[in-house]
Amino acid sequence: MTALHLAPHPAIVLTKAPLGTGAASGWAQGGIAAALGPDDAPALHAADTLAAGDGLCDPQTVSRITSAAREAIEELARRGVAFDRDAAGALEFGLEAAHSRHRIVHAKGDGTGQEIMRALIEAARSAPSITLMEGVEARRLLTHDGAVVGLLAAGPQGPLTLASRHIVMASGGLGGLYRQTTNPRGAIGQGLALAARAGAALADMEFVQFHPTALDTGLDPMPLVSEAVRGEGAILIDETGDRFLAGQGRAELEPRDIVARAVFDHRAKGHRTFLDARRALGPRFEARFPSIAAKCRAAGIDPARQPIPVVPAAHYAQGGIAVDANGRSSLAGLWACGEAAATGLHGANRLASNSLLEAAVCARFVAESVIAAQTRVRVPALLPAMELPPAPDAGPVRQIMDEKVGVLRERSLLESAVAALAPLAKSNSPAADPAAVALIVAAAALMREESRGSHARRDFPAHDPAWGHRLTLRLHDAEAMARNILERQSAVAIGA
């Protein structure tokens, strides 16, 4: 969408997979949060976002993005997105967890992401200002005098180098660093790795959101059972039929971090966990959530008649490349947008359906910033030489992250993760880039000695006002932490 906003300025879009097929956006089921109803207002949406963010949202960013929601919805509709409407043609609004109003704009029931991507892909393919390079994967950013001047990529014909003083990273999240994830397999934080290795700062990396209701049927990645199903009244039960969240605040409509930990804790006690939509939706499930119903049927489950087995799974990275209000990173010439960016909107815990909103709104902010940029960086006639790194493979990282940097964390496990990931990140193996991103996640989680939002520590279970600020790290910070841990472990071993 940033490339579309850049028109008529030329833009090259690089994508490893055919356009749209490797992106998490196309999998989004819930919709876009937008305060458009007669009983709603951007200030109410902002208040809900701040509450979910648990003290770490940037209030100005929250206000700016929630206030721009109407314009973003209208822009998407102009580009051909067919949002669901009632008989009178008015937008329909759904309810999701931690929202105080029905404000979720959706398309084709639970096919919002797919419908948005369809319209945007059609627009991009027909835009004369956009050059699409599919099957091309960026492997390194090239820098000169502290600024981005191009990138090194792998294409169908081999390595290629592209010169550019303006690069926008819209590479998605990092859920694929975990074995249990709802993200596409390619969502392994590759854009974050490129930025980190080029010296850019990353922020909020300890905050990985685990969705409480991934379909538990052994698939990888795990199909998502949207927040919107609980918004329609579905409840969480165990194998005995006990509604284990009953009596806890808003029960199933508590923020995701609270619900995910409740499901995790209940499973740790030996229970199985299910989402029960039989009474709330029954035979209406198919019409309201057609894609979820299809995934359930493929697993032999009829959600109108049977509870759906669910488990928490890595779903969304609140952290990413640290950016300002216009998407500019700490590295001159590099911008970031969408899940790859840490804008300050989400704080410690993302409010449901704010991710598509952030991507749609910030795409325009980034494009305007790129157009206005007065970059004085000289692109050298001969770009820096660099060997093409191997294609990234997160396989060796996933078990470490699942076991040591998951829903509930503690010092010993996090130190073990940092010590295991650091050598991988330094290696020349395919796991190096995924390990570098995972290392920063683990290091940030180890640094934050409290529980807040989606970051929960067994050894620090309470909020600490001293930690009421965002963490910004560079790769060398995480590497220094790893060296200290490894030296301490070595000293203990020698002493033994």
Active-site option among 179, 256, 261, 452? 256
Residue 139 known to be catalytic: no
Could you write out the three-class secondary structure of the chain? CHHHHHCCCCEEEEECCCCCCCCHHHHCCCCEECCCCCCCCHHHHHHHHHHHCCCCCCHHHHHHHHHCHHHHHHHHHHCCCCCCECCCCCECEECCCCCCCCCEECCCCCCHHHHHHHHHHHHHHHCCCEEEEECCEEEEEEEECCEEEEEEEEECCEEEEEECCCEEECCCCCHHHCCCECCCCCCCCHHHHHHHHCCCCEECCCCEEEEEEEECCCCCCCCECCHHHHHCCCEEEECCCCCCCCCCCCHHHCCHHHHHHHHHHHHHCCCCEEEECCCCCHHHHHHHCHHHHHHHHHCCCCCCCCCEEEEEEEEEECCEEECCCCCECCCECEEECHHHEECCCCCCCCCCCHHHHHHHHHHHHHHHHHHHCCCCCCCCCCCCCCCCCCCCCCHHHHHHHHHHCCCCECHHHHHHHHHHHHHHHHCCCCCHHHHHHHHHHHHHHHHCCCCECCECECCCCCCCHHHCCCCEECHHHHHHHHHHHHHHHHHHHHHC
Buried b vs exposed e over 402-433: b needs ≥16 C-beta within 10 Å?
Answer: bebbbbbbeeebbbbbbbbbbebbeeebbbbb
- Distance separating alpha carbons of residues 220 and 81, to the nearest angstrom: 29
Please count the other Cβ atoms lying within 10 Å of the Cβ belonging to residue 161.
15
- Distance separating alpha carbons of residues 483 and 486, to the nearest angstrom: 5
The residues, any chain, with a CB within 8 Å of residue 279's CB and separated by 6 or more, are 233
| Distance in angstroms between the alpha carbons of the first and the last residue of the chain | 58
Of 427, 450, 442, 436, the closest CA to residue 485 belongs to 442
Which residues are known to be catalytic? Answer: 256
